[in-house]
Amino acid sequence: MTHRPYEIDQLISAKSIAARIEELCADIHAEFEDTDKLVVVGLLRGSFVFIADLVRELNLPVEVDFLEASSYGDGMESSREVRIFKDIRGKIEGRDVLVVEDIVDTGHTLNHVVQILSARKPARMKTIALLDKPSRREVDLAADWIGFSIPDEFVVGYGIDFAQRNRNLPYIGKVRFTDQA
């Protein structure tokens, strides 16, 4: 599959991301300081870099699990149909859970995942998203913690991809197509 040519402009620096993760982890620690173990559920694939940095900064006993869900495929627009490709392996009933999302756009994916996991009766469940696009929201949902609110731009980097490319950028970048007249 070929794509239109594009360039990437830095939107959020790696240094800004690291500083924000420190702040978020202080809030998470305050919320879960009494936990015997926090189950951190990462939504694959876009959140894997955020999860790694987040759990390294958390001063709590953590267990990491993953759920793969998507409403995008290789496209730039949400299909609004959330598909679960991989479920978590562990049990969360009666446990403290933190759901980690890379970006909340329309809100359909995170809303669907929260419904699925809530039905499994965790003791407490909170959500965190690295990025939030509130102007695109179609579902009445807000993550408990947000790293950065961003405008309606297509972004890549820090684990977030465009057709499986650019996940390895250490920053968040805005995609700018170069073939536009």
- Which residues participate in catalysis according to the annotation? 105
Strand partners, 69: 84
- Compute the distance between CA of residue 30 and CA of residue 44 in angstroms, rounded to an integer: 26
What are the two backbone dihedrals, phi and then psi, of residue 164, each rounded to the nearest 5 degrees?
Answer: 70, 20
Phi and psi angles of residue 35, each rounded to the nearest 5 degrees, phi first: -75, 150
Residue 172 DSSP class: E
The answer to whether 110 and 102 have CB atoms below 8 angstroms apart is no
CA–CA distance, 43 with 64 (Å, rounded to integer) = 11
Three-state SS at 9: strand
> CA 178 to CA 181: how far, in whole Å?
8
Nearest to 131 by CA among 112, 150, 154: 150
